[in-house]
Every structure is written in structure tokens, then in C-alpha cells.
């Protein structure tokens, strides 16, 4: 495959950069990950299976992947809206809002967790209004969802925004002159153009959420079987010097994340192939 | 007779339209009538407002003042969707995630349920349109698998699918290479003769306008310089701008004497009552309206030296330098005439205009 891609180029050093890239990737990604797998192999198959399927672990997977997925969906919708407003409208303070979008990136996650907890707890600014409605956010799975939505937002906005910016305005105008109303133009012309970027943004938000630790542990309450995320469970096992058990859970997260990332890439490839084929 | 009756129906009326972007006036009190079935070219340099005028007609922009009437109905405030115009963009604006068929069918598939043809009818219509633009073989391709010329034909078929009352083309061939552009221009003209759909073609290419249009509207800096048939605007330019914009021209400051035998010179602008110092006369002569001879036949001929001979296909272009003013004069001859004269570089020739135009220009003579 690499040889097929090697085309005569004015830039030298293809072999060199390829070698370096592979070496670097191995050093940074592959070797640590294989370390994880090697450590796990100190467990027997039964021990491994028992560790990764115990009810507490299963509940944590459900929460981690479920909340991450939901968070990615929410961000997919509202992140697109934010990107749309930032690109299409000029309003006072627009550049400030634009800069604020990056805040969840930059903020130490623990700070975000504490801030969210303070606001959503039963005597917090928002929590005190939600409580009478029977909605408890802090220290429940809902709190996990809020935290994961918070940290995932910039991924969607920052991937969708440039695509929206480059969107050919004439294509929309063409749709309008052909009689399409706004909704039809949006659905038939804009969404297909945004779709690959939106999918990438959501995938990145999802991946980030699956691994998120700092912000979640403050707001989650961390009740086993109820509001405990897998990364926390791994930490708990480490604190109990159960290194092999911790890596076993790590391997499960690794495999699931990899499979999901692969699936998203396949969807992207499939949807991208249609208009980049030539 | 019927033709004459049909010709007299005005289908597009632009009534004193003014448009400003900030402090810049793009269109300044433009008035224009287009007859049903006509192909009009809006011609002008970039920034003259021609695209803005087209976009106002389509409803993509709103005029600051003035009205737009389509078939007698005022549509200035009406939504684009209700105007029934077909718009063809310079850069095609095709939906790249749709096949050629889906692109052409788009306008039909977004119709409200009650008016939408059945899938079978849509398929037939798309097929007919694709054969009209000679692209049946490309029906299942995606836009980026097509050449520029093919893409623009798809865009045209897509615009025609909704049976528009008028077709607006914004520099449709501007992004194509010369050969394809010429082919498509002629093809468009033939298509128009077949369909008789009222069309407005925006272009900055004078050749395109002269070749394709029934009438040409020359725009400059937001106002109409002249409206007329291609022959009228070319032969009887109303203003110096039109003269210079449509083809090459020699500009002589002051009045040059004319041979007695040639047609009378034409004053397009009202002759000045008296010679005032803030006006001067400028004479325009097209290169092919200059006649050369080897020897002086009248006293009024200009004496000039041949500086450069360019043989370009069937025409021969000469660059002369006049003896009195050292001005460069360009002349276009037929090949036969050139052979008759047996010209060489450095030869002395005598020039006289067969046809010229004199305009009065404001400001004192610069020469």
C-alpha cells in the first residue's frame, strides 16, 4: 500500500518521513498500549473475564459509553447550532463567544467539574430551580451527562465551523431559485455538506468523553452500579494495587473505543466517497 | 405578424433601480425592458453592476429604489421561489453529493405534494432535459466526474427543469477555456432559438455578447451606457466607453481630417454650441476602418511608419507610428489587402479612416 502511494514528488524524503512517522507513532502510541495488553496477560482468562464482566464493571461501561454517546448526540445538534450562529450572524460580542467555545478545551477538567457541581447541586444556581421539578443533576448519572456534554462541545463546533464557513453560498442560492424552501435547502443541501465534519466532531467528542475523568468524578457522586464511570473504576483498582485488574478494564475500553472509531471512520469513508470519487 | 405581436410583449421591466452597498453605488437608476423570448446580454467590465442587476432580477438581492416587473406584475417584494426564474451560476453551484439526475430533478422534487409530478414523470422529464443538453450518458455521474462544460450544461438543465419564465445566466462560461466557451456560446444560442425562453446573459466578454445576444445592454459604473442590437452598439457606439469596450479602437485627440468619399461622420453627443475650453474632441476609429495606401492621394492623410506586422490567421494586424505625433496606430487588414500592399517593416504608408466617430469629452485636451 505504501509503495502504491509513492509517487514521484518534488519534495524529497518520503522514505525518511515514513520511517520517522512509524517510529514516532510506535513510541507514543503503540508501545504504551501494548504494555497495557502485556500487563493484562498476567491474568488468566477466567480472572480476566470475571474482572471485566462483574456487575460493577458492566454498569460503569453502560454509564461511560451511554453518557458519552448521548453527550455526543447533544453536542452534534447544539454544537452545530452554535457553529451556525457564529458563522452566519454578526452580533456584538461574537468574537468573545467564539473564544469562549474553546474554554472546555483549556479549562483544567477538575475546575470544570467543581464549577458544574456547584451550579447543579441542590443549592446551586441552576440546581436549586431544578430540584423542585424533581430533577436531580449533581451526583446522578444526569450529572455525568452534563459534564460530558460540557467537555465535548468544542470538538463539534470547531470541526463544523470551518466547513460551514467554506460552504458555497451559491449552492444555497441555487436551491432557492429552484423553488426549495428554507427547510428543504437546509436538509437537502447544507446537511449533506456538513455531515462528514459533523460526524468527525461527534466522534471526537465521544472519544474524549469516554476517557474523561477529572470533571466527571466531582459531579457524578460515584455510587457503584449507579453513577460510577469506568475510568474511576480503573483508578479504584489501581489504588487497591490491583494493576492487572485495572489494565483488564483498560483493554476493554481500548477495544470498544477502537471498534467505535473504526465504525465511524467507515461511515465517513462511505459518505465521503460519494462526492470525492473521481 | 405573430412574431411581431409576440415581440412587443415586455416580460421583464427594470424600473429606475438603484442599489448601494454602503457608500458605493452599484446600480444608478437603471431602466431596462426585455421583450418576451429575447436573449439579452448585460455587458460591462467587472464591478459595473451587471451581476448585481441579475441577482436583483432573481430576487437574491433587493433594490434600494425602483421596481422589478415580470410580465406586468410587480415582484420587487416577492419571494425568489415565487418568481419562477432559472438561474445559472458562473461556478455551476451544482449539488456535489447528488448525481446529475438528482441535480436536474431537484427543482421538481422540492415542489409541494399537490404539484409534484410522479416519480415516473420526473424521470421522463430529467431524461428529456439531459438529452436536450446532450448528457444522457452522464446521468449517474457525480458533478466532480464531469468537465467544466458538462457541469454548466447540467446546471442549465437543472434550471430549465422547473420551466422558468426567464433564464438568468451569470457569466456562465466565464470559468471555461476559450474553445469550450465558444462552442457552448453557439450551443446556447441554438438552444435559445429552439426554446425561445426570455434570457439574460451577464458577461464581460464582448465577443460573447456580440455573438450570442439579440440585444446588448452595455453597463458601466452602475448605469446603462447603451442598449441596442450587437451591430448597433458595435457600429454606432453611443459613448466613448462603449466604443472602447467593444473591440479595439484607435483614439485620436482632436479632430482628424476625413476623406471626402467616406460616409459622413456621426455626432452621437449633441454638438457643442461654441468651443469652450473645458471640452475637447476625441476621434475614435476601429483598426479595420483604417485604409492604407502606398502613396499620398489626398492632403489629409496621415503619414506613418510600419513598426510591427502580426499575421494572425486570416487577419493581419499592423502597428504604425504616425509621423507628426509619434502616436501608435493599430490597423487591421485582410490578408489580400496586405499582399496587395506588399508591406515591410519600416515602410512609409498613408492612412485614412473609412469611418470614424467624434465625441466631445469634458476637460481640456491632454495632448
- pLDDT tens-digit map of A107-129: 898 999 999 999 998 888 888 88
Within a domain: A113: yes
Using an 8 Å CB-CB cutoff, list chain A residues near B97.
Answer: 192-193, 274-275
CA distance B156 to chain A (A): 11
Contacts of A277 in chain B (CB under 8 A): 142, 144-145
3-state secondary structure of A44: coil
Residue A4 falls within a domain, yes or no? Answer: no
Residues of B in contact with A183 (CB under 8 A): none
Q: Rounded to the nearest 5 degrees, what angle is found at the Cα of A204, between the Cα atoms of A2 and A39? A: 75
Assess B172–A contact: CB distance below 8 Å, yes or no: no
Query: What is the predicted pLDDT for the residue at A6?
Result: 56
Distances (CA, A) of B194 to B122, B209, B327, B346: 22, 19, 48, 53
Count the alpha carbons within 13 Å of A277 in the hemisphere toward its beta carbon: 12
If one counts every other C-beta atom within 10 angstroms of the C-beta of residue B299, the result is: 6
Q: Residue A11 falls within a domain, yes or no?
A: no
Q: What residues of chain B lie within 8 A of the CB of A272, using their CB?
A: none
Domain span at residue A211? 51-277
Give me the DSSP letters along B325-356. Answer: T--EEEEEEEHHHHHHHT--TT-EEEEEESS-
Pull the grid cell for residue A47: 480472572
Residues of chain B contacting A276 with CB distance shorter than 8 Å: 144
A24 occurs within a structural domain: no
Q: How many independent structural domains does chain A possess? A: 1
The chain B residue lying nearest A168, using CA atoms, is B93
| Residue A37 belongs to some domain of the structure | no
Tell me what pLDDT residue A76 has.
94
- Domain-located, residue A81: yes
3-state secondary structure of B63: coil
Asked, for residue A91, whether it belongs to a domain, the answer is yes
Answer whether B162 sits within 8 Å of A179, measured CB to CB.
Answer: yes
Give the minimum alpha-carbon distance from A192 to chain B in angstroms, rounded to a whole number: 7
Mean pLDDT, consecutive 10-residue stretches, chain A (278 aa), reads 58 82 92 89 90 92 94 95 92 91 89 91 87 85 92 94 90 91 90 88 91 89 87 92 91 89 82 57
Residue B52: how many other CB atoms lie within 10 Å: 22
Contact A179 B87 (CB under 8 A): no
Residue A211 placed within a domain: yes
Cα gap A241→A238, rounded to integer Å? 5
Residue of B93, B106, B158 lying closest to A173 (CB–CB): B93
Q: Find, in chain B, the residue whose alpha carbon is nearest to that of A189.
A: B95
Question: Which residue in A170, A178, A275 is closest to B144 by CB distance?
Answer: A275
Name beta bridge partners: B68.
Answer: B14
Q: Does A180 touch chain B (CB under 8 A)?
A: yes
Cβ of A173 and B159 within 8 Å? no
Which residues of chain B fall short of a pLDDT of 70?
1-8, 254-279, 363-367
pLDDT at B231: 92
Q: Does A148 reach chain B within 8 Å, measured CB to CB?
A: no
Tell whether A278 lies on the interface with B, counting CB pairs under 8 A. Answer: yes
Q: Residues of B numbered 123-142 whose beta carbons fall under 8 angstroms of chain A's beta carbons: which are they? A: 142
B81 to A175: CB separation less than 8 angstroms, yes or no: no
CA nearest neighbour of B85 among B158, B32, B177? B158
Q: What is the CATH number of the domain that holds A190?
A: 1.10.3720.10
Amino acid at each position: 500500500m505504501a509503495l502504491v502511494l509513492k509517487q514521484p514528488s518534488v519534495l524529497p524524503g518520503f522514505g525518511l518521513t515514513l520511517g520517522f512517522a512509524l517510529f514516532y507513532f510506535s513510541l507514543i502510541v503503540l508501545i504504551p498500549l501494548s504494555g497495557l495488553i502485556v500487563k493484562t496477560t498476567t491474568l488468566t482468562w477466567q480472572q480476566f473475564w470475571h474482572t471485566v464482566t462483574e456487575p460493577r464493571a458492566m454498569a460503569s461501561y453502560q454509564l461511560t459509553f451511554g453518557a458519552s454517546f448521548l453527550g455526543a448526540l447533544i453536542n452534534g445538534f447544539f454544537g452545530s447550532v452554535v457553529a451556525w450562529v457564529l458563522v452566519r450572524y454578526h452580533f456584538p460580542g461574537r468574537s468573545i463567544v467564539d473564544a469562549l467555545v474553546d474554554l472546555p478545551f483549556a479549562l483544567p477538567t477538575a475546575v470544570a467539574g467543581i464549577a458544574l457541581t456547584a451550579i447543579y447541586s441542590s443549592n446551586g444556581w441552576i440546581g436549586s430551580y431544578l430540584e423542585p421539578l424533581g430533577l436531580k443533576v449533581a451526583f446522578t448519572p444526569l450529572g455525568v451527562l452534563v459534564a460530558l456534554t460540557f467537555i465535548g462541545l468544542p470538538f463539534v463546533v470547531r470541526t463544523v465551523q470551518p466547513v460551514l464557513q467554506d460552504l458555497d453560498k451559491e449552492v444555497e442560492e441555487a436551491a432557492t431559485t429552484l423553488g426549495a424552501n428554507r427547510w428543504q435547502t437546509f436538509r437537502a443541501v447544507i446537511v449533506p455538506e456538513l455531515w462528514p465534519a459533523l460526524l468527525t466532531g461527534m466522534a471526537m467528542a465521544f472519544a474524549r468523553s469516554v476517557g474523561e475523568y477529572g470533571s466527571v468524578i466531582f459531579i457524578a457522586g460515584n455510587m457503584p452500579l449507579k453513577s460510577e464511570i469506568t475510568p474511576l473504576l480503573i483508578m479504584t483498582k489501581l489504588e487497591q494495587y490491583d494493576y492487572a485488574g485495572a489494565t483488564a478494564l483498560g483493554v476493554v475500553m481500548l477495544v470498544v473505543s477502537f471498534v467505535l472509531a473504526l465504525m465511524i471512520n467507515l461511515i465517513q469513508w462511505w459518505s465521503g466517497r460519494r462526492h470525492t470519487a473521481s | 405578424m405573430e412574431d411581431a405581436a409576440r415581440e412587443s410583449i415586455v416580460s421583464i421591466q427594470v424600473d429606475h433601480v438603484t442599489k448601494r452597498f454602503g457608500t458605493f453605488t452599484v446600480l444608478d437608476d437603471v431602466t431596462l425592458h426585455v421583450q418576451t423570448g429575447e436573449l439579452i446580454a448585460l455587458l460591462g467590465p467587472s464591478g459595473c453592476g451587471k451581476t448585481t442587476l441579475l441577482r436583483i432580477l432573481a430576487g437574491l438581492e433587493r433594490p434600494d429604489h425602483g421596481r422589478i416587473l415580470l410580465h406586468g406584475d410587480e415582484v420587487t417584494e416577492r419571494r425568489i421561489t415565487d418568481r419562477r426564474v432559472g438561474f445559472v451560476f458562473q461556478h455551476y453551484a451544482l449539488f456535489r453529493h447528488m448525481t446529475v439526475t438528482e441535480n436536474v430533478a431537484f427543482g421538481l422534487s422540492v415542489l409541494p405534494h399537490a404539484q409534484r409530478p410522479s416519480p415516473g414523470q420526473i424521470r421522463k422529464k430529467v431524461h428529456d432535459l439531459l438529452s436536450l443538453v446532450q448528457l444522457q450518458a452522464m446521468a449517474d455521474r457525480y458533478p466532480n466526474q464531469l468537465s467544466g462544460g458538462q457541469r454548466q450544461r447540467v446546471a442549465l438543465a437543472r434550471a430549465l427543469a422547473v420551466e422558468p419564465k426567464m433564464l438568468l445566466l451569470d457569466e456562465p462560461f466565464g470559468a471555461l477555456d476559450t474553445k469550450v466557451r465558444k462552442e457552448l456560446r453557439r450551443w446556447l444560442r441554438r438552444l435559445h432559438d429552439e426554446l425561445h425562453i426570455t434570457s439574460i446573459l451577464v458577461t464581460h466578454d464582448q465577443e460573447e455578447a456580440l455573438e450570442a445576444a439579440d440585444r446588448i445592454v452595455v453597463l458601466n459604473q452602475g448605469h446603462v451606457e447603451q442598449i441596442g442590437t450587437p451591430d448597433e452598439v458595435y457600429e454606432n457606439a453611443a459613448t466613448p466607453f462603449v466604443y472602447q469596450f467593444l473591440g479595439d479602437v484607435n483614439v485620436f485627440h482632436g479632430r482628424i481630417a476625413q476623406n471626402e468619399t467616406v460616409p459622413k461622420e456621426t455626432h452621437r453627443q449633441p454638438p457643442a454650441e461654441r468651443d469652450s475650453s473645458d471640452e475637447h474632441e476625441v476621434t475614435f476609429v476601429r483598426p479595420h476602418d483604417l485604409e492604407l495606401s502606398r502613396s499620398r492621394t489626398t492632403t489629409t492623410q496621415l503619414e506613418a511608419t510600419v513598426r510591427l506586422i502580426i499575421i494572425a490567421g486570416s487577419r493581419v494586424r499592423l502597428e504604425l507610428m504616425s509621423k507628426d505625433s509619434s502616436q501608435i496606430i493599430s490597423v487591421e487588414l485582410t490578408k489580400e489587402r496586405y499582399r496587395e500592399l506588399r508591406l515591410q517593416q519600416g515602410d512609409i504608408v498613408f492612412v485614412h479612416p473609412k469611418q470614424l466617430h467624434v465625441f466631445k469629452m469634458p476637460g481640456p485636451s491632454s495632448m
